[in-house]
Amino acid sequence: AAMTTMNPDLRRERAAATFQPELLTHILDGGAERTRRRKEIEALVINDPDFQHEDLNFLSRSQRYEQAIRKSSLMVMKLREYGIADPEEIYWFKSFVHRGRPEPLDLHLGMFLPTLLTQATPEQQDRFFMPAWNLEIIGTYAQTEMGHGTHLRGLETTATYDPATQEFILNSPTVTSIKWWPGGLGKTSNHAIVLAQLYTQGQCKGLHAFIVPIRQLGTHEPLPGITVGDIGPKFGYDEMDNGYLKMDNFRIPRENMLMKHAQVEPDGTYVKPVSDKLTYGTMVFIRSLIVGDSARCLSRACTIAIRYSAVRHQSELKPGEPEPQILDYQTQQYKLFPLLATAYAFHFVGAYIKDTYHRISGDINDGDLSELPELHALTAGLKAFTSWTANAGIEECRMACGGHGYSRCSGIPDIYVTFTPSCTYEGENTVMMLQTARFLVKSYIQVNSGQQVTGMVSYLNDLSRQRIQAQHVAARTVSVRINDPVSLVDAYKARAARLVEAAAKNLQAELNHRKSKEDAWNRTSVDLVRASEAHCHYVIVKLFTAKLSEVSNAAVRAVLTDLCLLYALYGISKNTGDFLQAGILSDGQITQVNQRVKELLAIIRPNAVALVDSFDFHDLHLGSVLGRYDGNVYENLFEWAKKSPLNKTQVHESFHKHLKPMQSKL
């Protein structure tokens, strides 16, 4: 009976909410119809006995891989059976099947097939696409090497063209050139798209992509000349066979180079591609997905931590009274509510980038690439900003759950280890921030030379005006209204402008001192990263604020406005140094900001559970005993622990093997 009734604390919390969570769910999903469809797909998976299995926490790595492969195989067939083809619907289906975890076919579906579509010639598509679509060919995308990651030009794998046989000879010339990390490479794939330095007619033509068969069809044994395997255990990603690949004089036909853009003719003549900007498109797309992932992973962690904090009672707030819910402690609210606000902010940013990408990818197909550089710079920075923040936020949520957060049953350790690599893959975050900085500095220089810039950096245009009226800087400070999100956007804008300018000036000063541009850049890079962070922070506050006016329901708008204010003010209170030093806010205003943050915590408190309910994660997807919708935490924690592998027998075999002999000897 305990299982079916809702914990009274949670029932009370839900009854006290000032808005309807469903309405907010619709906003997050992009409309009521999309919510309906998402839940429909969710039900397809959850009610399907084929997708059930033992709690993954109790399985070994090898067993987890096996379960993932089993489910992936079924998933591919069922997607076709149900006729689900919309990319977003596929994404939902997949994340319910795998409960938000990676799976061995990720690279096949997410990289191998799309790369064939965008980079293969029609003839190559005939040969490879349908077999790959039908999973006779399972492929992966082998780019990263043991010694080389984000800096692609440094890759060492070679593909040398031999006109005599019309073949490419692939080689991994050094240990550092061994392909390392590609998902699905270790055990699953029989083909790989390999990135290698192309050599023809004695010259290096840079990186190109080749389709390389790696395992024998039928036996799945590695082909002669191929050494392939799993890279061993990692921090998370247990179900993924990240692999290594070493090639020794391995020959593939000329026709296996992906030749839609660049070509090698039979005699070895190299034909250059028309534009290299096109590859930006894929990167922008994948990085925008990471922004959305940051939002979702942080939302899951917040859901768990906030529900648990409403169920857990600890210590006393008032002498003589029962122990209060830990969510009533100011320090607990101060840990969790800014993260909740951040999760909402990131949702809206993720949706914005996705929409922008879809809007301009039409232009890209028409050959108009003018908006791409800014979007590229923006997504690089936002990918880094959101993944860093979410990463730290997930850990904060885990720690806010005290000891039980550390148990695998809380689900947060898994969210963390699954998410945290996104700080590194698809572009290491510091490098991403520096790419954004490069764009910011370029824009700053443009403004300084009298040109106007457009888009998210247009605030830089104001810098020259402000310089003329330097004496008004003090007057500017009092104009920030701390209860008005629009005014706070201006404050963030001023901070970004100031930090971009400071970094650009420091860079100039270094350039005046030193000969080398690269040295100067390196010696300014800490400032440059700060400037990029401030820019991204501004963009997020701006997008969150803009979202408010789109919300029609007054109760929902009110609660989102509280969150938006909290997000903006908390960000100021965590970076007071920047705002004080630039004279954007005074000491007195900072004190007010700190005070207002605490008031907002109390205002948001009654809606906290409803705000995480709005994320609408199914218990199965959440995978957490602490975050259960019904709040029956302790009974289920005990039930869960009883299934632990160490509890299989009443007396563990170690007693007979080690303990008993010791006791008799001593």
Binding residues for FAD: 144, 183
Q: Number of C-alpha atoms within 13 angstroms, CB side, residue 632?
A: 13
User: Within positions 293 to 322, which residues make up the interface with another protein, using CB under 8 A?
Assistant: 312-319
Taking the complex as a whole, the smallest distance from the CB of residue 46 to another protein amounts, in Å, to 19
Taking the complex as a whole, the smallest distance from the CB of residue 31 to another protein amounts, in Å, to 33
Of residues 423, 559, 610, 622, which one binds another protein by CB under 8 A? 423
Taking the complex as a whole, the smallest distance from the CB of residue 581 to another protein amounts, in Å, to 4
The Cβ of residue 217 has, within 10 Å, a number of other Cβ atoms equal to 12
Task: Using CB atoms within 10 Å of the CB of residue 396, give its burial: 0 to 12 exposed, 13 to 18 middle, 19+ buried.
Answer: middle
User: Within positions 616 to 645, which residues make up the interface with another protein, using CB under 8 A?
Assistant: 634-635, 637-638, 640-645
Task: Report how far residue 65's alpha carbon sits from residue 104's, in angstroms, rounded to the nearest whole number.
Answer: 8
Indicate the residue among 121 and 522 with the shorter CB distance to another protein: 522
User: Within positions 451 to 510, which residues make up the interface with another protein, using CB under 8 A?
Assistant: none
Taking the complex as a whole, the smallest distance from the CB of residue 652 to another protein amounts, in Å, to 4
Interaction between residue 402 and another protein (CB under 8 A): yes
User: Within positions 530 to 569, which residues make up the interface with another protein, using CB under 8 A?
Assistant: none
The C-alpha angle 423, 427, 430, rounded to 5 degrees, equals 65
Of residues 268, 395, 438, 558, which one binds another protein by CB under 8 A? 395
Task: Using CB atoms within 10 Å of the CB of residue 392, give its burial: 0 to 12 exposed, 13 to 18 middle, 19+ buried.
Answer: middle
Task: Using CB atoms within 10 Å of the CB of residue 331, give its burial: 0 to 12 exposed, 13 to 18 middle, 19+ buried.
Answer: exposed
Indicate the residue among 398 and 547 with the shorter CB distance to another protein: 398
Task: Report how far residue 523's alpha carbon sits from residue 507's, in angstroms, rounded to the nearest whole number.
Answer: 8
Taking the complex as a whole, the smallest distance from the CB of residue 549 to another protein amounts, in Å, to 31
Of residues 14, 207, 230, 438, which one binds another protein by CB under 8 A? 230
Residues making up the annotated binding site are: 144, 183
User: Within positions 80 to 139, which residues make up the interface with another protein, using CB under 8 A?
Assistant: 81, 134-136, 138
Task: Report how far residue 502's alpha carbon sits from residue 526's, in angstroms, rounded to the nearest whole number.
Answer: 12
Tokens 């003010």 found at: 569
Sequence-ordered alpha helix ranges (H) in 47-176? 61-82, 87-97, 106-107, 113-119, 122-124, 130-133
Tokens 């007693």 found at: 655
Interaction between residue 434 and another protein (CB under 8 A): yes
Q: Which stretch binds another protein (CB under 8 A): 290-298, 330-338, 439-447, 463-471?
A: 330-338
**Measured CA distances, 424 to 54, 58, 150, 421 (Å):** 31, 28, 9, 5
Given the residues 103, 426, 510, 533, the one annotated as active site: 426
The Cβ of residue 569 has, within 10 Å, a number of other Cβ atoms equal to 26
Taking the complex as a whole, the smallest distance from the CB of residue 261 to another protein amounts, in Å, to 25
Whether residue 600 contacts residue 329, with contact meaning beta carbons closer than 8 Å, is answered with no
Indicate the residue among 333 and 545 with the shorter CB distance to another protein: 333
Indicate the residue among 336 and 447 with the shorter CB distance to another protein: 336
**Can you spell out the DSSP letters for 464-516?**
HHHHHTGGGHHHHHTT--TT-HHHHHHHHHHHHHHHHHHHHHHHHHHHHH-S-
Q: Which stretch binds another protein (CB under 8 A): 110-118, 122-130, 236-244, 483-491?
A: 236-244
User: Within positions 156 to 185, which residues make up the interface with another protein, using CB under 8 A?
Assistant: 175-176, 178, 180-181
Taking the complex as a whole, the smallest distance from the CB of residue 220 to another protein amounts, in Å, to 5
Which helix (H) or strand (E) segment is 557 a member of? helix 554-574
Site mask, another protein, residues 504-523, x = CB under 8 A?
A: ------------x-xx--xx
Q: Tokens standing for 296? A: 């979702």
Taking the complex as a whole, the smallest distance from the CB of residue 402 to another protein amounts, in Å, to 5
User: Within positions 435 to 454, which residues make up the interface with another protein, using CB under 8 A?
Assistant: none
Strands 139-142 and 191-200: parallel
Which parts of 258-352 are beta strand (E)?
263-264, 270-271
Q: Rounded to a whole number, what is the largest CA-CA distance in the chain? A: 91
66: Cβ–Cβ under 8 A, 6 or more apart, which residues?
none
User: Within positions 582 to 621, which residues make up the interface with another protein, using CB under 8 A?
Assistant: 582-583, 587, 590, 594, 598
Task: Report how far residue 490's alpha carbon sits from residue 472's, in angstroms, rounded to the nearest whole number.
Answer: 16
Residue 316: active-site member: no
Q: Which stretch binds another protein (CB under 8 A): 36-44, 63-71, 461-469, 485-493?
A: 63-71
Of residues 119, 188, 342, 614, which one binds another protein by CB under 8 A? 188
User: Within positions 344 to 383, which residues make up the interface with another protein, using CB under 8 A?
Assistant: none
Binding-site size, another protein (CB under 8 A): 133
Catalytic residue ranges: 426
